[in-house]
Amino acid sequence: MADEISTPSTAGVPFAGENVTVAGLNAYQSRPLGDSTGGMLLLPSVSGISPQLREFADGLAAAGVTALSWDLWRGRPGSDDLSQLETQLQWVSELNDESSLTEMGQLLDHMFDELGCRQVGVMGWCVGGRFALLLGGRDSRLANVVAYHPTVPDTPAPNHTLDATEFTARIAAPAMILYPGADEVVSVESFRRLQAALDSRTTGPSITHVYPGAGHGFTGRAQQGDPINKAATDLSWPQVIAFIRATTLV
């Protein structure tokens, strides 16, 4: 099921974005108008499938990559409005690692079986960045793993039943972690543990980028008023797009 077809982009590859239902799950899908054998599963931050997340998906589609976005809030509205943050953080505490990964697996099945993707990666932001590392360590089908400022604090939240560092070490695909040097949520020590886990692997290139002075969630729309966060976003996004294209459009 699908609705709300968006206007195709006038820049890059023409695409169409739409809300879809996959195996009973809400999702936002953005596809190039034409053949596209590369895809990315997008795992949002606490903002959910917000206007900015749709722009990220559309940007991938304009680059020739199919994007399917997981609705971590299961129908509850996504929003970039910081006034909703307290409510969204409460919702985060309700997420279950295992059931969330099961839903992501269903979306991946759809991308391979129904959308015609031959290479599919995963990219997440904040809470979605942590889930990207977990999924990367569990699903060997992935062509890449991208974790933007993943929320992996020193003391795991009560509902974090899976160890993100342990799963990071299991990732077989090329992987990229983008860490803000002034992250007030995830310590440098936690990032170093993730970096060491990546470097311990015997398969898949490891890429870690550090953006000094940038804060947690630096790509968020509400964070762009800080010139350091904006510069980190503007610099990182083209590099991430290039990494995704190199690993999915093959």
Which amino acid is present at 26?
Answer: N
At 101, which helix (H) or strand (E)? helix 97-113
pLDDT (0 to 100) of residue 34: 86
Angle, CA 8 vertex, CA 4 and CA 11 arms, to 5° = 150
Q: Which pLDDT value is given to residue 11?
A: 58
> Exposed, middle or buried by CB within 10 Å (0-12, 13-18, 19+), for 135?
buried
CA contacts within 13 A on the Cβ side of 7: 3
Kindly report the pTM of this predicted structure. Answer: 0.94
Tens-digit pLDDT string for the chain (250 aa): 444 433 333 458 999 999 999 999 999 999 999 878 999 999 999 999 999 999 999 999 999 999 999 999 999 999 999 889 999 999 999 999 999 999 999 999 999 999 999 999 999 999 999 999 999 999 999 999 999 999 999 999 999 999 999 999 999 999 999 999 999 999 999 999 999 999 999 988 999 999 999 999 999 999 999 999 999 999 999 999 999 999 999 8
* CB atoms near residue 21 (< 10 Å): 12
Question: Which pLDDT score, from 0 to 100, does residue 154 have?
Answer: 97
Output phi, psi for 4, to 5 deg: 55, 60
- Report in angstroms the alpha-carbon separations of 196 from 48, 51, 232: 29, 34, 23
